Amino acid sequence: MDYVDVEDARAQPGLKLVLTAGVPGPWGEAAKGILAHKGLDYLPVRQDAGQANDALRAWTGQDSAPVLVGDSLPPASHWLDILQHAERLAPQAPLLPREPGLRAQAIGLCALIAGVNGFGWQRRLLLLAPGMQLDEPPAAVARMAAKYGWSAAAAEAALAELQAISAHLDAVLAQAEEENRAYFVGNALGAADIYWATFATMIDPLPEDVCPMPPFMRTTYSSGGEAIGALMTPRLRAHRDRIYQRHLGLPLDF
Ligand SMILES: N[C@@H](CCC(=O)N[C@@H](CS)C(=O)NCC(=O)O)C(=O)O
């Protein structure tokens, strides 16, 4: 994927999506999946993981990725804002149910996966632990640790949180199976399906031929032994694979 620097992107009209360049970041891959499903084209803009990203901060008021920026859109850097703005911009390809009860259920599942204290957040606490336990943590690791709530106690508690979320997602899919549905909510692709497919990478990366991620990232995401492996239940893995094959498209381009 060809990324434009923030300085150049700012002057361009149209929809822009800031992404962590060169890696399949789960929040970014989810945003890409959402926009692709909706047929919304965008200019990819570069963010560098763990770096200061001063120009991005000056533009959007924060320095993480992804960020969705449109001509009449305040920069949206929270996953739910990105999703809901995408819903508004392309309502003909919905990813949330219209019925409020089902919509609340879908947004709740997305928050368990992508939100603060959710699956991605807790997994990141574990991934930051080896670096943070060094006498002198690398600057990029320390920056992300400070930004994303890392403490020894939070990292210690993360596995139990991941287990609880994985068990719940598995149970929701089991119920869907009983009802002959292939999606978390309802009977069509929804945001929760995209979030799960893209965030599952953090415990079980897609094969190298379809997701050629940097070796350090593959090693990191694959780490954690049996306890982490067990989070990816057969049902959750089958769901991830199905969503990529049917809807998201492979290989990944980042
Ligand atoms: N603000 C986002 C979360 C985005 C996020 O966690 N981004 C991470 C992905 S690992 C990131 O940009 N990391 C690299 C960095 O912070 O430099 C949300 O709440 O949806």
The answer to whether the CB of 20 is under 6 A from ligand 1 is yes
Single-letter amino acid, residue 2: D
pLDDT of residue 73: 86
| Domain count within the chain | 2
Nearest CA to ligand 1 atom 1: 78
Q: Evaluate whether residue 254 is within a structural domain.
A: no
State in Å: Cα 31 to ligand 1 middle: 12
Q: Count Cβ atoms within 10 A of the Cβ of residue 137 and give its class: 0-12 exposed, 13-18 middle, 19 or more buried.
A: middle
pLDDT at site 72: 87
The CA 179 to ligand 1 mean position distance, Å, reads: 35
Enter the tokens of residue 34: 């959402």
CB of 32 closer than 8 Å to CB of 17: yes
Atom of ligand 1 nearest to the CA of 147: 16
How far, in Å, are 169, 172, 194, 232 from residue 176 at the CA level? 11, 6, 16, 17
Does residue 112 share a domain with residue 201?
yes
**Can you give the CATH number for the domain in which 183 is found?**
1.20.1050
* pLDDT per residue of the chain (254 residues) written in tens, 0 to 9: 999 999 999 999 999 999 999 999 999 999 999 999 999 999 999 999 999 999 999 999 999 999 999 998 889 999 999 999 999 999 999 999 999 999 999 999 999 999 999 999 999 999 999 999 999 999 999 999 999 999 999 999 999 999 999 999 999 999 999 999 999 999 999 999 999 999 999 999 999 999 999 999 999 999 999 999 999 999 999 999 999 999 999 999 99
| CATH number of residue 45's parent domain | 3.40.30.10
**From the CB of 140, is ligand 1 less than 6 Å away?**
no
For residues 83 and 34, is the Cβ–Cβ distance under 8 A? yes
Residue-wise over 206-243: b if at least 16 C-beta within 10 A, else e? beeeebebeeebbebbeebeeebeebebebbeebbeeb
Same domain, 236 and 126: yes
Is residue 158 assigned to a domain?
yes
pLDDT for position 41: 98
Residue 241, CA distances (Å) to 56, 151, 185, 233 in order: 34, 33, 17, 12
Nearest-atom number in ligand 1 for the CA of 77 is: 1
Parent domain of 175: 100-248
Q: Are residues 53 and 154 in the same domain?
A: no
pTM: 0.97
Q: For residue 121, which atom of ligand 1 is closest to its CA? A: 6
Is residue 85 in some structural domain? yes
Ligand 1 nearest atom to the CA of residue 115, by list position: 19
Whether residue 42 is found in the same domain as residue 64: yes
Residue 94 lies in a domain: no
